[in-house]
Amino acid sequence: MNAGSATSAPEKEDLTEKGAQAAASAAILSPEQVSRTSHTIQVDGKELAYTAVAGTILIDGESGTPPAEIFYVAYGKDAADKAQRPITFVFNGGPGAASAYLHLGALSPRRLVFNDDGSVAPAPARLVDNQMSWLAFTDLVFIEPVGTGYSRIEKGQGREGERRTRTEVR
């Protein structure tokens, strides 16, 4: 399936394909690389229905650049006019900065519970509806740049000719 192809439900634009196309025009999505789930949260006493999509965008290594996999998680408000609804692309993570904090600590529809002083709460970690989620006014696409989180250069294309693992990126 190409990033710009038609969806199986023509009445509803596919957030995965729209986000992937805007994020990387050379992207190729494969159906087995996408996971889609439906959810609802309460924001200001109102129910907000949304679709969450997690997937990998494969970037072709053209002009001497190595192929790469870019991991993303996208959230789209259901029953919204997609032509009028904004999309915010959030580039997550980096050296010394875990991608989870911006995603699960601040902007997504669900967030981790922290102590009142902002420190990490004791285990087990708990997710709660995020009353301050940006999903209330924009669809969200969290992108992990290559070399962070689950995004990486394809096997055999790293500096040492080997795929870097998640622990090596930290």
Residue-wise pLDDT for 64-96, tens only, equals 677 888 889 999 999 999 999 999 999 877 766
Side chain identity at residue 158, one-letter code: G
Alpha carbon 17 to its chain's center = 12
Least trusted range by pLDDT, from 7-11, 57-61, 79-83, 122-126: 7-11
Mean pLDDT of the chain: 75
Least trusted range by pLDDT, from 3-12, 22-31, 67-76, 110-119: 3-12
Q: Where are the alpha helices (DSSP H) in 65-115?
A: 100-102
pLDDT in tens, 20-61: 444 443 344 444 568 999 999 998 889 999 999 999 888 877
Sketch the domain layout of the chain as residue ranges: 15-169
C-alpha–C-alpha distance, residues 89 and 87, integer Å: 6
* Tokens read off for 42: 């309460």
Q: Where are the alpha helices (DSSP H) in 76-118?
A: 100-102
